Structure 1
Amino acid sequence: MAAPKFCIVGGGVSGLTCARLLQRSLPHAQVTVLEASERLGGLVRTSKGAKSQIFEDGFHSSILVNKNGREALGLIKLLKLEDEVIGANIEASARRHLLHRGSVRLVPGPHHVLLYGPALMAEPLWPRSKDADESVYDFVARRASKTLAKNLADPICRGQLAGDAKELSVRTCFPRLWHNERRFGSVFLGAALSTFLAYRHRSWMALDLLDRSAAFECFQSV
């Protein structure tokens, strides 16, 4: 019997993963990957800045709790590339800053807990909306407070999406927030339940939640 032949269009992460799994399942198959650009990997790449900073492009994921992130680590382990993983400095990467009233401020800071904490704790108590969609500003103001929508949601929208929170669709720009409220009635409870359900229905390639090797791979500091 002649060996089966496969042609994969696109040499990004999905295409390369498909090729690797085909080779793993059908060792005698002929697998061809077609890529239009000069390099493989698609949008995922590592580059260095003018001061030797390391920039990772194209893959953004909460690696230990996100399904895609854990499957990515599972793929790395499958390919035996653990030694090539460069982990982020967790303490440094956890710090976020916003430009507010002319100065750069750490978010969240101690005063944010007092300022926004009560509204966020009450979020699960508010009824879900029956509207098909609404702006990011209106969504956050309704689920938490107008202050939080103005001082946090709007800067995030402007910094990440280059748009006004009052004009951007929450269903389009932050579908997970919209989905959590629609399905679970709460953004925070929905996030917790979604993580639990995703872990229960994880694929064979995803690492276990308490896999020590995953923690080592992700949390070693550069």
Structure 2
Amino acid sequence: MSAPRIVIAGAGISGLATAYRLTRALPDAEITVCEASDRLGGCLKTSTLGGQAPGGADVGAEASLFVRPETTELCAELGLNLEFPSREHSSQLFVRDAMHPMPTDTLMGVPSDPASLAGILTAPEVDRARAETLTEPADGDVPVGEFIASRLGDAVADVIVDPLLGGVYAGRCRELSMAATIPALLPAAHTGTSVLEAVSAVRAQRSAASGANIPGTKSHDAPPVFMTLPGGIGTLITAVADDLRARGVRIEVGTPVTALQPGQPGSAEPAWTVRAGDEHLPAEAVVLAVPAYAAASILADVDSEIAGILGDIDYADSAVVTAVLDTGDAPLSGSGFLIPPTEGRFIKASTFASNKWPWLKDALPAGTAVVRMSVGRYGDDPHAWAALDDDELAARALADWRDITGSQAECRHLEVQRWTQSLPQYRPGHLDRSTAIDTALTRHPGLGLTGAAYDGVGIPVCLKRAAAEAHRIAAGLTAAIRT
């Protein structure tokens, strides 16, 4: 075999990172990355915010975990400088028309001591959580919100846990997998033992670990939890793409991969023929770094089992409304707030981005602030917001934000970024289905799947899977070359 040809469908962070790792493992490979849309980056995207932030600001994902190594290692390889959140500001919960400090002694909102929720929840709701109701041992995975509600009461699930998980998955906690979202609680579900005690044990273990940085358990100079880059985490896309082009990787936008045709084993024809736009590309390996529903369509005639599992993964729609405000001598306080669905508000969260990120504050005109408002959860009535045009969506989000905060700061710039079918929903059993996909992939040498639909939605998890799939593909191609 001469230099192997590899086609990657999708130029989000997963597709580009897969190509990046393959260039290191197979320097002579001919790699083509095909992106269906007119830009690179997937859910990572930056904007100049109407010229108010000339260096760019995120209008999609805004950060990556610093406490995991994958993103920081990639940034170090690319020579990128990291930026960290301000330690002067903290997030809040908006409950019963009032702001409350985010409770600190919880695991994604599940408390070790329900007394810490006093003031956010009513006294009877705190008493209900304190009097945990043990349930029968469960088999396998369970819906995390339903389990928490049965143990600690509806309020803990719907008021505390739901907005935290909803901020990550744009989903509803009563429909999300415990194994995929808060796996540390699974032993309590499987053994019928106390959730409160399980959270206490996990927090004690993590607070003793270097870099855990659980609020209230670490010193002020402890390592940060999150990181970004100057100009936003979206600039990581530019850096990776520049590196790939410098190494001869072909990157094409407006070129959707729509079908695969496997070759005949042992024949002289290529292992795969990839239909990408108007081209038919021969390849020894193909990696699909596209949403599950797109991969399901591509694989429908290749492997019905994989396609069926992928096609059963639901996705959430959401939107980010970003405003640049004139705050003058009345700056905003805090880094933002989360809102449980029980409040019936139009927005579900807001980040005071220029308070959270010092680099952004420094890049803005004096006396201004950037505020992000999030809209949309899985299962929303499609007429609630998705049917609105951008102007009405932005106006309603800003009006709700003003009503919540009391701020009447003049708006310099307002823009909408819609994220349609962007976040996969991890229903109970998701990780088992992901394992079944990986097992089925062994039937197809040279075929890989990366992205947020498998092991996790965060950037580090996507990078980890991209590296693993690149390693697996490279190993298979290397073995084929040797034979």
**TM-score (structure 2 length as normaliser):** 0.31
Letter in 1 for 2:14: S
Residue of structure 2 equivalent to 1:181 = 185
Letter in 2 for 1:54: A
- Is there any run of 5+ residues in structure 2 with no aligned partner, and where? 106-113, 190-194, 209-222, 229-356, 360-483
Residue of structure 2 equivalent to 1:75 = 74
Separation in 1, partners of 2:20, 2:75: 12
Separation in 1, partners of 2:167, 2:16: 32
Give runs of aligned pairs for residues 200-219 of structure 1, distance below 5 A: 218=227
**Larger relative contact order (C-alpha < 8 A, sep ≥ 6)?**
2
Separation in 2, partners of 1:157, 1:27: 40
Deviates more, 1:180-189 or 1:104-113: 104-113
Separation in 2, partners of 1:29, 1:104: 55
CA gap 1:106/1:59 in 2 versus in 1, 3 angstroms: same
Deviation at 1:13, TM superposition (A): 1.0
Separation in 2, partners of 1:155, 1:36: 32
Separation in 2, partners of 1:103, 1:47: 32
CA gap 1:79/1:7 in 2 versus in 1, 3 angstroms: same
Residue of structure 2 equivalent to 1:149 = 157
Root mean square deviation of aligned Cα: 4.6
The yes-or-no answer on 1:105 pairing with 2:100 is yes
Q: Deviations over 1:7-50 (max 9, x none)?
A: 11111111111111111122222211111112111111223546
Residue of structure 1 equivalent to 2:138 = 130
Higher helix share: 1
Separation in 2, partners of 1:24, 1:180: 35
**TM-score (structure 1 length as normaliser):** 0.60
Residue of structure 2 equivalent to 1:203 = none
Give runs of aligned pairs for residues 163-182 of structure 1, distance below 5 A: 168-171=174-177, 175-177=180-182, 179-182=183-186
CA gap 1:55/1:139 in 2 versus in 1, 3 angstroms: same
Deviation at 1:89, TM superposition (A): 2.1
- 8 Å CA contact retained: 1:12, 1:40: yes
Separation in 1, partners of 2:32, 2:9: 9
Residue of structure 2 equivalent to 1:96 = 92
Q: How many residues align?
A: 190
Letter in 1 for 2:76: K
Larger C-alpha radius of gyration, 1 or 2? 2
Q: Deviations over 1:62-106 (max 9, x none)?
A: 431xx4xx21221111222x23x44332443x42232x2223333
- 8 Å CA contact retained: 1:129, 1:182: no
Q: Deviations over 1:148-179 (max 9, x none)?
A: 335423555777777776xx32427x8423x3
- 8 Å CA contact retained: 1:3, 1:30: yes
- 8 Å CA contact retained: 2:44, 2:58: no
Separation in 2, partners of 1:61, 1:122: 37
Residue of structure 2 equivalent to 1:87 = 84
Q: Deviations over 1:162-212 (max 9, x none)?
A: 7776xx32427x8423x3332465553468879x9xxxxxxxxxxxxxxxx
Secondary structure at 2:31 match in 1? strand
Separation in 1, partners of 2:115, 2:64: 25
Secondary structure at 1:14 match in 2? helix
Separation in 1, partners of 2:77, 2:46: 21
- 8 Å CA contact retained: 1:180, 1:191: no
- 8 Å CA contact retained: 1:10, 1:35: yes
Separation in 2, partners of 1:184, 1:142: 13
Letter in 1 for 2:227: C
Separation in 1, partners of 2:29, 2:129: 54
